[in-house]
Structure 1
Amino acid sequence: MDKIDIAPPCLLVILGAAGDLTRRKLMPTLYAMHIAGHLPPSFAILGMARSEMDDAAFRAAMRTACETFGDPPEDAGWQSFADRLHYQTGNFNDADAYRALAGRVTELDARHATGGNRMFFLATLPSLYAAIATQLGAAGLVHLDPQGPFSRVLIEKPFGHDLSSAQALNHALHEVFREEQIFRIDHYLGKETVQNILVLRFANAVFEPLWNRQHIDYVQISAAEHIGVGSRGGYYEESGVLRDMVQNHLLQLLALVAMEAPLNFSADRVRDRKVDVFRALRTMLGEETYHDVVLGQYAPSADGSLPGYHQEAGVAPDSVTPTFAALKVHVDNWRWQGVPFYLRTGKRLAKGCAEVVVQFRSIPFCVFGEEQACARIAPNRLVLSIQPEESIHLEFATKVPGNGLAVDTARMHFGFNDRYPDAPPPYQRLLLDALRGEQLLFSRADGVEMSWHFITPILEAYADGIHPDARPYPYPAGSQGPVAADELLAQDSHNWQRLGGV
């Protein structure tokens, strides 16, 4: 195995080790990395949570988690992995718990020969991030010398719930960690198609000269889910779709599509150019917000088989929390002036999919003369499918065989899984990068704050629900979304690509 695919010696400390994130995603991923040889012998995992457990009980609980949410472990493979697992009971608000944790970390550093390297994964409620970081610093658990053993912290979204809270969180983290020690995880950025946007643009001379306002008519970025909020109704009531999806996933995709070429492919140079895009986003204020944003909320399906948002557990019966958003976004710079970026995301839609559609401009003049032939010449379209399958396809005009001139649209298709069936899952790639200190696929503090700078005025415009356009439009569960979202594009004589359509 290439050295780049193996994590360095490290003690991974999981705070919130008894929670859903650890059971459903983190532990099955770590076990898969162990079996694949991505973890060195000098690697150990220490879980901490309030639940009373010893090492044996923790190992048993994690085996059950891997059996339920990952590949069922085999006895031999599991035993060698279980030997890495340890547990410490502690309350996240108790300073004594962190002093006890420090003692256990010192012990396990020596036992597993991790060289003092450690990463703290905060698998807790986001509201605890700042306090936990402060406690870790106060207990002396964070190495500050860049030349010594590394200390890193990894957190999941959301990174705040508006601009001021994001700034406060960054400030609290920076009181303890340097920016290069902080890894803010967005699982969309671990997907191969998302990473391939930059390679497609900057490694292919055929695309980059056309990647501008002269040749591109508009861009659509969609992230649709066919499921509802399920058991997360309480969380969703506090977040809504703008915080849950637009501020992070969709704006990250927009930045990759719209950014200028970086000086090189290092993490900071790429993230510099992404932040430039966030700075160029046209702020929506006042009535502009209601003109360029459509929010929706799913209602029961037409046949009554799917519940509406108000029927979900943990949701207030009069809730106006949006579950769907469509936005018309402008990037005010030389490359993109006048090119609309349409963003769309929602729950309980017709199909779960995520994709980027780059619509090129129509030909300026039809030379074929025949009206029927000219009418069938559709603009070129490049579609980057992120899920459920990761693929790229390009649409172009071609002649239909036979007498006369008939034009049809052909599709050239590339499937990642067909070409690279052994590509690592996104979460595994992100964890390995974080352990190796590679920050390219993680958000930087200024990028987080600039994305909130764009989203916060929209949140404020819809906060009170007084304006007649501030209430979300209902749409049937299982549909393409509210009709108002179609009208948003119809104003520009454009149409959404059907969810999951090609």
Structure 2
Amino acid sequence: MSPARVARGSNPLRDADDRRLPRIAGPCALVMFGVTGDLARKKLLPAIYDLSNRGLLPPGFSLVGFARRDWDDQDFTKIVYDAVRAGARTPFREEVWQGLEEGLRFVHGSFDDDEAFDELARQLQELDEQRGTGGNTAFYLSIPPSAFSTVTSQLERSGLSTPRPGSWKRVVIEKPFGHDLASARELNKTVERVFPADSVFRIDHYLGKETVQNLLALRFANQLFDPVWNANYVDHVQITMAEDIGIAGRAGYYDGIGAARDVIQNHLLQLLALTAMEQPNSFSAHELRAEKEKVLSAVRLPKDLSTATARGQYTAGWQGSEKVKGYLQEDGIDPKSTTETYAALKLDVHNRRWAGVPFYLRTGKRLGKRVTEIAVVFKRAPALPFTDTATEELGQNAIVIRVQPDEGTTIRFGSKVPGATMEVRDVTMDFGYGTAFNESSPEAYERLILDVLLGDPPLFPRHEEVELSWQILDPVEKFWARKGKPDGYEAGTWGPASADRLMERDGREWRLP
């Protein structure tokens, strides 16, 4: 700190430049469309309470729900209260709830109802006058993409999208960001016709997870890893998002979308970009996004998609001790559906750092366990001075970043087995968030909602990233559409045999998390 700053009376413990201090949102209101849905009830409303409980929301923060339900403010308050009591991460405190409750409002109406949006404008003006929101409003569109055009047009018509001098208006949209490149471009045009690009926040909740952000710290704050994070030492990278549940009542959304569009296009390609990107000059939104876009623009699919992709659809089987039905027997699913519930891809990153290093991405439902991880697997040490029998239980070194559920990092390396002979086998060195830190990790939506209210966009992909991701996936989807029915795999297993063959062709195998 400069002497001049100390001389002016600044407190070193409260320095505004100290990133260790919590960032508190300024005066604002949040309007939530789709407030009656599962996402709002299970994730968004509890996250708002947790932010308030941690002192990260301003005293006059206001939340307005918008839906077709014939509710009044008291009905909405009860819905929010029940969601908070059921899903909040932090302890319930009556004084915190009372402060939040005072800013709750509800507007009844459909998305094409002019009067409802005029009433929304009136309510926001009243909240500004009564609670000092400063005219700052974030609109959270937790609704199907097909409704984006109607809602943004209504926000424009009613003047809600136009900030007065000194205030801001922002819009938050949830995935899916289209279903292919053409629809993504159309969606981007629809939203950015009303809101400037830097006021559009596309939420990918995976990017708000503590472990995903820790990937940046692991790579760029430690000299230990950076020198070997390249093709000279890395054999391949595996990125896995496995779920042990089925479609969980989401037949209307999931059928016709499938695993690749639902997970690979957004979550897994974003994890690939963060794993493979060069060090940014800073963690500002501009610098971070630029490096991710360079990686995504360098991604290439192998020419023969029949050997570089795999897809599957779960059949009946055992999930632990429970007998579960197959995808085609799920409620609401067309018995002739060709939607995949498992997808795997092999990708190459055509740049100097990663030339010749394949990236394997896989995701699926009804797999062996719930886990999301990034595994950087290293080449075998050359010319080992050991006999074959001494190292027959030795695998390849690996750094595994566990995104969920047991957040942390594991390093796998070889160590001598105690005894008179030279025998080497794999051991692991483990770091877990739950044991290394006293404070539990915030939920991803806490971080992301706060970033929206602060206007801090590094964790939000802009439309260039979305379109680059669709450019990667579109050829795969077209190939699969011509191929027909996915391969079957029994629930509780680790996917179809075609996914194993994908790895075997390269002399590799999938990790067993």
TM range (shorter): over 0.9
| Aligned counterparts of 2:302 and 2:437: Cα–Cα separation in 1 | 42
Q: Give runs of aligned pairs for residues 248-397 of structure 1, distance below 5 A.
A: 248-283=266-301, 288-301=304-317, 305-368=323-386, 370-397=387-414
Offset of residue 108 of structure 1: 1.0
| Aligned counterparts of 1:447 and 1:412: Cα–Cα separation in 2 | 35
Find 1:94's aligned residue among 109, 113, 119: 113
Secondary structure of the 1:386 match is strand
Q: Give runs of aligned pairs for residues 6-405 of structure 1, distance below 5 A.
A: 6-70=24-88, 73-144=92-163, 148-283=166-301, 288-301=304-317, 305-368=323-386, 370-405=387-422
Secondary structure of the 1:5 match is coil
Contact 2:415 2:425 (8 Å CA) reproduced: yes
Q: Does 1:494 align with 2:513?
A: no
Offset of residue 401 of structure 1: 2.6
Q: Does 1:471 align with 2:493?
A: no
Provide, for residues 174-202 of structure 1, a one-character-per-residue CA deviation record: whole Å limited to 9, x for no partner: 11111111111111111111111111111
Offset of residue 32 of structure 1: 1.6
| Aligned counterparts of 2:80 and 2:314: Cα–Cα separation in 1 | 36
Instruction: Name the amino acid aligned to 1:446.
Output: E
| Aligned counterparts of 1:278 and 1:144: Cα–Cα separation in 2 | 34
Across the aligned residues of Structure 1 and Structure 2, the Cα RMSD in angstroms comes to 1.8
Contact 1:281 1:329 (8 Å CA) reproduced: yes
Q: Does 1:444 align with 2:462?
A: yes
Contact 1:391 1:415 (8 Å CA) reproduced: yes
| Aligned counterparts of 1:283 and 1:179: Cα–Cα separation in 2 | 29
Provide, for residues 55-81 of structure 1, a one-character-per-residue CA deviation record: whole Å limited to 9, x for no partner: 111101221222333368454443222
Instruction: Name the amino acid aligned to 1:86.
Output: R
Distance 1:3 1:215, change over 3 A: closer
Distance 1:391 1:115, change over 3 A: same
Instruction: Name the amino acid aligned to 1:331.
Output: V
Offset of residue 392 of structure 1: 0.3
More deviation, 40-49/396-405: 396-405
Offset of residue 304 of structure 1: 8.2
| Aligned counterparts of 1:224 and 1:371: Cα–Cα separation in 2 | 34
Contact 1:295 1:471 (8 Å CA) reproduced: no
More deviation, 298-307/49-58: 298-307
Contact 1:230 1:313 (8 Å CA) reproduced: no
| Aligned counterparts of 2:119 and 2:425: Cα–Cα separation in 1 | 70
Provide, for residues 304-332 of structure 1, a one-character-per-residue CA deviation record: whole Å limited to 9, x for no partner: 81110011111001111000001111111
Find 2:437's aligned residue among 400, 420, 430: 420
More deviation, 58-67/161-170: 58-67
| Aligned counterparts of 1:142 and 1:377: Cα–Cα separation in 2 | 60
Instruction: Name the amino acid aligned to 1:168.
Output: E
Contact 2:61 2:100 (8 Å CA) reproduced: no
| Aligned counterparts of 1:356 and 1:151: Cα–Cα separation in 2 | 36
Offset of residue 284 of structure 1: 5.6
| Aligned counterparts of 1:433 and 1:420: Cα–Cα separation in 2 | 23
Q: Does 1:406 align with 2:420?
A: no
| Aligned counterparts of 1:270 and 1:46: Cα–Cα separation in 2 | 32
Instruction: Name the amino acid aligned to 1:415.
Output: G
Provide, for residues 365-387 of structure 1, a one-character-per-residue CA deviation record: whole Å limited to 9, x for no partner: 0123x332243443211111111
Q: Does 1:457 align with 2:475?
A: yes
Instruction: Output the TM-score relative to the length of structure 1.
Output: 0.94
Provide, for residues 409-444 of structure 1, a one-character-per-residue CA deviation record: whole Å limited to 9, x for no partner: 221111112122423221111111111111111111
Offset of residue 408 of structure 1: 2.2
Contact 1:144 1:177 (8 Å CA) reproduced: no
Contact 1:328 1:340 (8 Å CA) reproduced: yes
Instruction: Name the amino acid aligned to 1:278.
Output: L
Contact 2:301 2:346 (8 Å CA) reproduced: no
Provide, for residues 79-103 of structure 1, a one-character-per-residue CA deviation record: whole Å limited to 9, x for no partner: 2221111111121112332222112
Contact 2:220 2:279 (8 Å CA) reproduced: yes
Instruction: Name the amino acid aligned to 1:471.
Output: K
Provide, for residues 321-358 of structure 1, a one-character-per-residue CA deviation record: whole Å limited to 9, x for no partner: 00000111111111111111010100000101000111
Instruction: Name the amino acid aligned to 1:166.
Output: A
Contact 1:143 1:149 (8 Å CA) reproduced: no
Q: Does 1:485 align with 2:499?
A: yes
